[in-house]
Amino acid sequence: MEASESRTIAILAEKPSVAQDIARVLGANTRGKGYLQGNGYVVTWAIGHLVSLAQPHEIKPEWRQWRFDQLPILPTEWPLVVYEKTKDQFEVVRKILTSGRVSRIVCATDAGREGELIFRYIYEAAGCRKPVSRLWISSLTSDAIRNGLDKLRPGSEYDRLADAASGRSRADWLVGMNLSRAYSIVYNEELSVGRVQTPTLAMIVDREIALRKFVPEDYIEVVATFEGRENANKESYQGTWFRPEARLGNDKDAPPNASRLPADGEEANRIVLRGRTGKAAIESLSSETKRMQPPLLYDLTELQRHGNRLFGFSAQQTLDLAQALYERHKLISYPRTDSRHLSADVAATAPGIVASISTGYKAQLAAGTGTAP
């Protein structure tokens, strides 16, 4: 991608770290307040969301009052407002986007629905009308950035994605504003209702209620140790008695746990006596060889689950570590994903990632890692 000598191309990234990676590839090394420039480019950034949908009272003053007769609130227009805490950076971005020296804009926010929404809101709030190209990359290696810049697409190709993002944003607004007010009025206290937060909270509450209602019960399990005749030390096996019918699901009246017996010990003692007077024999023996597919790659949820189980990390700690490995060290692909597969362009970065980490882990790498699909 080459910039015109007389006009400047503005690139808007979602985060400062991404902007720095792009600027380094382009040779835009002169730092300004809230941007980097050089070589015919000016690279600036959002800090997540700089712009949001207006609050009800910012649309109509009479909507400031929480009254049942005003519900539902259904705007006919959706004005945007700038977040107070990041207004300084928005002003930097606005001046760059509307500068007479800037001929066109490159949207370099994250490749996804939310990234598209962040750019579109800023672009609209800034009053910009200049042509837009889209940088669509899921890796921040230098090669990935260069390839992406060489294959910029017209911004109009992502209008449907922007429509979906805008629809989701407005739906969240309608649910949150209307239901929060409705529940607050009914219960006479300030309550917050959200499309995502409320069902998530409901799952936590349901689980907490189940835990509080749990009544511990004493039970007995009968365990026997079986030893082989030829080599008792190597051929021992510990088995737990269970109801075969319950294990197979044939006995509807059987307790849900097939091995648990009443705490009074009567039934357990009868089973022990039968076991001691009887003779143990192997009724059948079968074996088979199975080929298992390797596990799928991590998505963010699975990574956070394993981070917690193995190291006690919180979900946020795991995300912060993964983000650092991705942005700063270039050792993993984009972590904020719910997909357990790689797209073709991201898969192409795998050999570079493997080469980066292989020095200290050669013994742990299978043959062909980074080269075989």
Active site positions, annotated: 334
**Proportion of the chain in helix, strand, coil states, percent, rounded to 5:** 45, 15, 40
Report the relative pairing of strands 41-45 and 35-38 from DSSP bridges: antiparallel
Q: Biggest alpha carbon distance in the chain?
A: 98
Q: How many residues does the structure list for the chain?
A: 373
Rounded Cα–Cα distance for residues 244 and 283 (Å)? 14
Rounded Cα–Cα distance for residues 18 and 327 (Å)? 7
Rounded Cα–Cα distance for residues 264 and 223 (Å)? 17
Between the CA atoms of 10, 11, 12 and 13, what dihedral angle is there, to the nearest 10 degrees?
-160
Neighbouring C-beta atoms of residue 34, cutoff 10 Å:
18
**Residue whose entry in the numeric block shows the structure tokens 């080929």:** 291
Q: Per-residue DSSP letters for 226-254? A: E--SS-TTTS-EEEE---HHHHHT--TTS
Of the candidates 323, 328, 342, the one whose C-alpha atom is nearest the C-alpha of residue 141 is 328
Q: What angle do helix axes 159-187 and 113-125 make, rounded to 10 degrees?
A: 90
Question: Would you state the structure tokens that stand for residue 201, as one six-digit string?
Answer: 């909270």
C-alpha separations of 169 from 78, 80, 162, 173, 195 in Å: 11, 12, 10, 6, 10
Contact 354, 370 (CB under 8 A): yes
